[in-house]
Amino acid sequence: MSEVFTIAVLVAVVGSAIRLAVPLLLASLGETYGQRSGVLNLGVDGIMLLGAFSGYYAVLKTGNVWLGLVAAGIVGLILGLASAVIAVTLKAEQGISGIGIYLFGLGMSDLLFQKLVGTPIPIDTFPPLDIPILANIPYIGEMFFQHNLVIYLAFAAIPFSAFIINRTTFGMNIRAAGEYPDAADTLGVSITRVRYATQLIGGMLAGTAGGVLAISLGIFQQNLTNGAGFIAIALVYFGGFRPVGIMLGALLFGFVNALVLELKTLEIIPRDLSNLAAMAPAIITILALAFVARRFRAPSALTKPFTRGQ
Amino acid sequence: MKKTTIKLVILLAVFALVAAACSSSDDESGDGDFRIAIVAPSASNDLAFTQSIVDAANILKADGLVSEVAITDGTFVVDDAAVAIRDYASEGYDLVIAHGSQYGGSLQEIAPDFPETSFAWGTSAETFGLSNVYSYEAASDQGGRVMGIMAAALSTSGVVGIVGPIEVGDAKLYVDGFKAGVLIQNPAADVPVNYIDSFSDVALASEAATSLIGNGADVLSGTAQMVVGAVGVAKTEGVLWFGTQANQTSLAPEIVVASQVYHWEGILEEMVKNVKDGKLGGELYSITFANDGLVIEYNDGYDLPSDVRQLADDAIELIKSE
């Protein structure tokens, strides 16, 4: 048991937690934009899958991981546009249409993989990037400053998004579209444009999240995300629809996963409790969600299509 | 407008389902009179569990023993697999292979409804007492033992790690065999096993491998389709890898030493012949070194020391004689 409480274990777990958290963080951040504006997109996982394949395929063909990331983002953007058309213009039932997008992404990503690639072929991954000086701090450096550029940018997106949502006119319009769309409309805010914008942002971030996952792993296979998109949606609620909150949620989920893995490696967790331990991330997140949900509420216009005059 | 919306959403969902179906099935009609269908939980080209049975079936087709091989892969949801199994039986396929230990319950319900259809369930040793169900399994612990011996011989740190999915069936058999092999060669070795409790979470498998390496492992192995993540980490860290179920050399030619490859075609051929002769089930098959159903395929690009190779060869001969 004393093996658990060592600096080495802590360093390993935190590093792993950060890597596991980043795809969730990006996808959840994108979904936060959407939900704050009143649009629920349950198709996040499908967008992540197509983003993952696109990113993977682009790297496979070009050898350039950054082109892969861009490709993933563009595909996500396109799917975000589709989501916007369906939810905002066509005013479809958002829950159902989101599931449709998920199924589309699941099937299409696998179809494309089977037809264009076939057997899993490894690709290059993101090059490591140690932050000068900070990376040399004992233990802290290894935990936080010896990752790659994508991880740093993902975490930088949190305060950036918090600023956008809370301190800019655009952010105010997003919040207004999600809380009081009728009032915002009378004041000249185009609810349609705002929701389109948030769906594009959400799609782009979800696609990028998938691309980050595939390129970080250096491989693609069927259902690579393993439902991460749905966890990302849950994290939006966990985080109280706030970027910092969802970051903490993603880190908690990643941390518990990483800790369970480490405890299994150290054989601290008995084999017969392994299944129970595997549920720990979900259980802890649900418990935390139940606690947090009392303090925050969803945007009042969430899932409600907007029609002027109604 | 609302009706149009509903129609568009339905169209999108249908397109998605068609896309999924197109990615799954591989119907090929042809001449001849024996058709095989395979229902499996992961992709046909997963370089692991599902690919092994698909490759075997295609060998039989190439040899002219069967006329058609239909595949529904990616059916990790058991209910979906049950639908596929029943559909194939309804469509008159001669042999329907349920390639997943999780499909047993469904097969037990479906098989009695189609007494003229032969079913095969793997990996399993259970036929439910039904005359139209075969079962098959791999003695994967055999190859695990051989590769565990090699792993221990190659390890300089004395720590050999294993990434496993769920501790059940073929996976458990392989992991136990591999661990036993390591300890045979080096009783003082540390062999941490990390079951991630998922067959499909590639990211988790990747982090499990990272954890094992962080705890000193300089040789790794693992089983099931999610190990592609673990192999990637092994490649990045320069840690040796032993694979199973299919030849995994292509994933990381620099560090894959060898793979235990399942060759189901031998027992599949027996099943086909039995079915053609009117015997639809009631037997258990097992692939082993002795019947050439298990083969250790070495990576020619890895310079395996001859003494280590000899250890493996000796172990195989010993197992065959047991």
Same domain, B128 and B270: yes
How far is it, in rounded angstroms, from Cα A41 to Cα A136?
Answer: 42
- The band of A281, judged by pLDDT with boundaries at 50, 70 and 90, is confident
Number of domains in chain B: 2
Which of B18, B74, B252 shows the shortest C-beta gap to A122?
B252
Same domain, B156 and B109: no
* Tokens 């980050």, located at residue: A212
Q: Up-side HSE of residue B279: CA atoms within 13 Å toward CB? A: 11
The string of pLDDT tens digits covering residues B120-146 is 999 888 899 999 999 999 999 999 999
Same domain, B246 and B217: yes
Is B105 a domain residue? yes
Query: B207 CB contacts (<8 Å, ≥6 apart)?
Result: A16, A19, A20, A257, A258, A261
How far is it, in rounded angstroms, from Cα A292 to Cα A245?
Answer: 10
Same domain, B26 and B125: yes
Contact status of B20 with chain A (Cβ, < 8 Å) = yes
Distance of residue B119 Cα from the nearest chain A Cα, in angstroms: 26
The string of pLDDT tens digits covering residues A77-121 is 999 999 999 999 999 999 999 999 999 999 999 999 989 998 889
How far is it, in rounded angstroms, from Cα A219 to Cα A235?
Answer: 26
* Residue B29 predicted with pLDDT over 70: no
How far is it, in rounded angstroms, from Cα A227 to Cα A45?
Answer: 6
Is B4 a domain residue? no
The domain of B63 spans 20-138+263-287
- Count of positions (residues) in chain A: 310
Same domain, B236 and B170: yes
Give me A6's structure tokens.
């060592």
Mean pLDDT computed over every residue of chain B? 90
Is B15 a domain residue? no
Helix (H, G, I), strand (E, B) or coil at B278: coil
The string of pLDDT tens digits covering residues A182-238 is 999 999 999 999 999 999 999 999 999 999 999 999 999 989 999 999 999 999 998
Mean pLDDT value across residues B187-205: 94
Question: Which residues 30-69 of A are in CB contact (within 8 Å) with B?
Answer: none
Same domain, B27 and B131: yes
Mean pLDDT value across residues B17-37: 59
- The band of B9, judged by pLDDT with boundaries at 50, 70 and 90, is low
Same domain, B43 and B99: yes
Is A309 a domain residue? no
Same domain, B86 and B33: yes
Query: A132 CB contacts (<8 Å, ≥6 apart)?
Result: none
Gyration radius from chain B CA atoms: 21
Give me B49's structure tokens.
């569990």
DSSP lists the bridge partners of residue A147 as A129
Which of B19, B192, B211 shows the shortest C-beta gap to A104?
B19
* Mutation site for B-interface testing, chosen from A222, A253, A255 by largest number of B Cβ within 10 Å: A222
Is B8 a domain residue? no
Instruction: Please report, for chain B, how many H helices and E strands are present, in that order.
Output: 10, 12
C-beta atoms of B203 and A23 within 8 A: yes
Same domain, B97 and B129: yes
Same domain, B269 and B315: no
Name the CA dihedral angle for B152, B156, B157, B159, rounded to a multiple of 10 degrees. -20
C-beta atoms of B211 and A218 within 8 A: no
Strand runs labelled E in B55-191: 68-72, 95-99, 118-122, 133-138, 160-164
Nearest chain A residue to B214 by CA: give it.
A12
Q: pTM of the prediction? A: 0.88
Residue B277 burial by Cβ neighbours in a 10 Å radius (0-12, 13-18, 19+): exposed
Helix (H, G, I), strand (E, B) or coil at B48: coil
On whether the CB atoms of residues A53 and A178 are closer than 8 A, the answer is no
Q: What ipTM was predicted for this assembly? A: 0.92
Which of A100, A257, A267 shows the shortest C-beta gap to B204?
A257
Neighbours of B78 (CB within 10 A): 15
CB contacts, 8 Å: B45 with chain A: 114, 118-120
Is B2 a domain residue? no
Q: Report CA torsion sign: A8, A11, A15, A20.
A: positive
Name the CA dihedral angle for B67, B73, B76, B82, rounded to a multiple of 10 degrees. -30
Same domain, B184 and B211: yes
Contact status of A254 with chain B (Cβ, < 8 Å) = no
Neighbours of A290 (CB within 10 A): 10
Q: What's the pLDDT score for residue B2?
A: 61
Share of chain A above pLDDT 70, in %: 97
Distance of residue A236 Cα from the nearest chain B Cα, in angstroms: 21
Q: Report CA torsion sign: A193, A195, A201, A207.
A: negative
Give me A156's structure tokens.
């930088």
Give me B168's structure tokens.
């059940």
Is B207 a domain residue? yes
* Residue B28 predicted with pLDDT over 50: no
The string over A126-137, giving b where at least 16 C-beta atoms fall within 10 Å of a residue's C-beta and e elsewhere, is: beeeeeeeebee
Contact status of B8 with chain A (Cβ, < 8 Å) = yes
Neighbours of A2 (CB within 10 A): 5
Is A298 a domain residue? no
Nearest chain B residue to A94 by CA: give it.
B9
Give me A183's structure tokens.
């009032």
Is B11 a domain residue? no
| Angle CA A74–A216–A162, to nearest 5 | 60
How far is it, in rounded angstroms, from Cα A161 to Cα A205?
Answer: 12
Residue A78 burial by Cβ neighbours in a 10 Å radius (0-12, 13-18, 19+): middle
Contact status of B211 with chain A (Cβ, < 8 Å) = yes
Query: A250 CB contacts (<8 Å, ≥6 apart)?
Result: A21, A22, A24, A25, A28, A232, A235
C-beta atoms of A103 and B208 within 8 A: no
C-beta atoms of B47 and A119 within 8 A: yes
Neighbours of B31 (CB within 10 A): 7
* Residue B22 predicted with pLDDT over 70: no
DSSP secondary-structure letter at B284? Answer: E
Same domain, B65 and B78: yes
How far is it, in rounded angstroms, from Cα A240 to Cα A261?
Answer: 28
H-helix or E-strand spanning residue B256: strand B256-262
Q: What's the pLDDT score for residue B26?
A: 43
Share of chain B above pLDDT 70, in %: 90
Question: Which residues 45-64 of B are in CB contact (within 8 Å) with A?
Answer: 45-47, 51
CATH number of the domain where residue A220 is located: 1.10.3470
Number of domains in chain A: 1
Query: Which of A300-309, B69-78, B171-180 has the largest mean confidence?
Result: B171-180
CATH number of the domain where residue B113 is located: 3.40.50.2300
Is A302 a domain residue? no
| Helix, strand, coil in percent for chain B, rounding step 5 | 45, 20, 35
The domain of A112 spans 7-293
How far is it, in rounded angstroms, from Cα B111 to Cα B119?
Answer: 7
Mean pLDDT value across residues A275-303: 79
Q: What's the pLDDT score for residue B20?
A: 52
Q: What's the pLDDT score for residue B30?
A: 42
Share of chain B above pLDDT 90, in %: 78
* Mutation site for B-interface testing, chosen from A65, A264, A307 by largest number of B Cβ within 10 Å: A264
CB contacts, 8 Å: B197 with chain A: 274-275, 277-278
H-helix or E-strand spanning residue A101: helix A94-116
The string of pLDDT tens digits covering residues A16-63 is 999 999 999 999 999 999 999 999 999 999 999 999 999 999 999 999
Is A259 a domain residue? yes
